[in-house]
Amino acid sequence: MKKETLLEIIFGTIGGLVFAIGMCMCLIPEWKLFASGVVVAILGFIILLCIIPVYRSNHPKKEHKPINFGIVFTWLIGIVGALIMGYGMSKVMVGDPTKTDLLIGIITSIVGLLICVLNYPIYSYLKSNRD
C-alpha cells in the first residue's frame, strides 16, 4: 500500500468520525452541545478536505467520457427508493406511532426497498438496450 493511499484512509476515517461526532453533538438536544458541535463538525469537514490535495497529487486527471444516462437514471432511482424507504422507517420509529402509522410506514418502507432492489435489473435492461 502506498503512503498516499494510507494518508487518504487515515484522513477519511478520522475526518468522518469527527464530523459524525460533531453532527451528533448538534442534533441530540439532550446533550446541549449545539455550539461546540458545530465547531467539531467544521473541524471534521476540514480534515476531510485534507484528502483532496493528497488525492490530486497521487492520481492523474482522467479524460472525460460522454455521460452515461443509464447510470444517472439508476442513481436517481436509488436515491428516490432510499428516500421512500427512509420516510417509511421514520413513520414507524419516530414518536408514538399509531397502528395506522405503523401500517403506512411498513408498506412505504417495503415499496422503497423494492425500488432499491429492482434498481439493478432496471440498469441491466437499460444497458442491454443501449448496446
Q: Would you say residue 115 lies in a domain? A: yes
Q: 53 and 74 share a domain?
A: no
Q: Would you say residue 131 lies in a domain? A: no
**pTM of the entire predicted model:** 0.58
Which domain covers residue 48, as residue numbers? 3-58
- For the chain, how many structural domains are there in total? 2
Share of the chain above pLDDT 90, in %: 56
Q: Which residue has the higher pLDDT, 29 or 2?
A: 29
Phi-psi region of 12 (alpha: psi -120 to 50; beta: other; left: phi over 0): alpha
pLDDT at position 3 over 90: no
Q: Please give the average per-residue pLDDT across 24-35, as a whole number.
A: 91
Picking from 118, 105, 125, 127, the residue whose alpha carbon sits closest to that of residue 77 is: 118
Q: How many CB atoms lie within 10 A of CB 41?
A: 20
Q: Would you say residue 119 lies in a domain? A: yes
Last residue of a domain, one of 58, 86, 104: 58
Q: 38 and 8 share a domain?
A: yes
Distance, in Å, from the CA atom of 112 to the CA atom of 121, rounded to the nearest integer, reads: 15
Place 66 in a pLDDT band, splitting at 50, 70 and 90: confident
Last residue of a domain, one of 36, 58, 80: 58
Q: 41 and 88 share a domain?
A: no
Q: 52 and 81 share a domain?
A: no
pLDDT of residue 131: 61
Q: 7 and 51 share a domain?
A: yes
Residue 42 · residue 25 · CB < 8 Å: no
pLDDT of residue 24: 92
pLDDT at position 1 over 90: no
Grid cell of 6 as nine digits: 494510507
Give the model confidence (pLDDT) of 87-126 as tens digits.
999 988 888 889 999 999 999 999 999 999 999 898 888 8
pLDDT of residue 20: 94
Q: 17 and 39 share a domain?
A: yes
